[in-house]
Structure 1
Amino acid sequence: MLLLDEPTNFLDMAAREALTRFIQAYDGTILFVSHDEYFIQQTATRIIAFENQALIEK
């Protein structure tokens, strides 16, 4: 299991694209926290978010 906290922070576009491809190809479990909506949409298969002081699954 990989745990990543804001993995796209401080990365240039080439590094972000490489990270996205790696995560898409990775067969294991990855839990990450990110505010990067594009990255989330490209990589997440399940999204759990805080909204109105509650956890919800999107």
Structure 2
Amino acid sequence: MWNSPAEFFAMGGYALYVWSSFGVCAAVLLLEPLTIRARKNAIIRRLKQERLAEQFDQESS
């Protein structure tokens, strides 16, 4: 039990560890969808380029 909000945020002397852990977790949860979307777009772009290259090869043959 904490007697005040200050004691809660101090976390018994472990505040730096506790709050930085929460911060890192929140950052990862926010960045993960963004990196997945960027990776998906890069894959789609590469597949489109490969398809265009195959069409060009077929037309020039």
- Bin the TM-score by the shorter chain: under 0.3
Greater fraction strand = 1
Q: Using CA pairs below 8 Å that are at least 6 residues apart, which structure has the higher relative contact order?
A: 1
What TM-score, normalized by structure 1, do the two folds share?
0.27
TM-score if structure 2 supplies the norm length?
A: 0.26
More helix by share: 2
Larger Cα Rg: Structure 1 or Structure 2? Answer: 2
